[in-house]
Amino acid sequence: MYYSNRDVRLEEMPKPKIGPGEIMVKVMACGICGSDVMEWYRVKRAPLVLGHEATGEIAEVGEGVKQYRVGDRVFVSHHVPCNNCRYCLKGHHTACETLHTTNYYPGGFSEFIRVPRINVEHGVYPLPDDLPYEDGTFIEPLGCVVRGQRLANVQSGDVILVLGSGVSGILHIQLARVLGAERVIATDINEYRLKAAMKFGADAVIHAQENVPEKFLRLNEGRFADHVIVCTGAESASKQALQCVDRGGTVLFFAVPKPGVDIPVPINRFWRNEVTLKTSYGASPEDLKESLKLITEHKVNVHDMITHRLSLGEAGIGFKLVADAQKSLKVIIEPQR
């Protein structure tokens, strides 16, 4: 039960009961997302059970459910679109009101979750027998990355600058490599994460407190980036992004500063040089399918990104690790430990 980043409690609550069209999933693994420790976003709704990267085994099947059986290994998407509204029909599934209001109960950091009918119909993904549950927790975060790079139109031969080398930043580095990027350069304020960025495919790294535009030009033969991908909510990173994008390039705001923070945009320069500013949020069902494919085909190495595996009783330690953002990457909670 989440009260704040420093106050995560192990509490007993009744096991959920499922109805027709629903399933019960015994949670085997659930990753702590960077958004889980965004206190400005989470504390206003506390106390609540978080966790939206859940994999597990189907424990119960409700009346009318034909496509799944008890014992099936699955990943469950917490948010699902309606697939019928004007936004879904235009490909903006993550702008769908249904997607923003759906969820499973009570949250992935629990022993069991009740999966509503709409999530059963549009958000359950069978896992291959040889895919570890912990690796399956990356389906959602990698799906978000897949969507972001698709919207930004990342292509073979592009030069990419990734600002922030946490979990999402490293997934962006790896996916850019899969898509054929010519060069990937990453930043962070943390030496541990800069080393991780190099390990997972960056050609070079820049400490974020350096003069990033100047250093990037030296590393990229005097030219700025085709795509700048912002993977941190730090205001300084958003400003650096606007300074480091090349003519005809794109800035993808995968992460944004907290509400109330505005970033001045050099609109005249961008107008003259056809610079695009893009935002990306969440993942659609197709993005999640592509993510699962990338993981099962071992094109993106998620397994080695896991640095901590903890029990439910140790969830508070996990939240502190992710919030501190020091010597950790992916922290996984295993409720059945």
Per residue in 175-226, pLDDT (tens digit) is 999 999 999 999 999 999 999 999 999 999 999 999 999 999 999 999 999 9
Amino acid, single-letter form, for residue 6: R
Contacts of 327 (CB under 8 A, 6+ apart): 192, 307
Peptide bond into 106 cis (omega under 30): yes
Average pLDDT over residues 166-171: 98
Query: Domain 145-279 adopts which CATH fold?
Result: Rossmann fold (3.40.50)
Return the sign of the alpha-carbon dihedral for residues 202, 206, 207, 209: negative
The answer on pLDDT for 276 being more than 90 is yes
Residue 139: what pLDDT? 98
User: What tens digit of pLDDT does each residue of 112-155 get?
Assistant: 999 999 999 999 999 999 999 999 999 999 999 999 999 999 99
The answer on pLDDT for 41 being more than 90 is no
For residues 286 and 268, give the distance between their C-alpha atoms in angstroms, rounded to a whole number: 36
Single pTM value for the model = 0.97
- Give the number of C-alpha atoms closer than 13 A to the C-alpha of residue 150, restricted to the C-beta side: 17
2-138+302-333 CATH choice from 3.90.180.10, 2.40.50.140, 3.30.43.10, 3.30.720.210:
3.90.180.10
Residue 272: what pLDDT? 96
Average pLDDT over residues 34-47: 91
Residue 6: what pLDDT? 94
Q: Where in the chain is the domain with CATH 3.40.50.720?
A: 145-279
Residue 125: what pLDDT? 98
The answer on pLDDT for 233 being more than 90 is yes
Q: Where in the chain is the domain with CATH 3.90.180.10?
A: 2-138+302-333
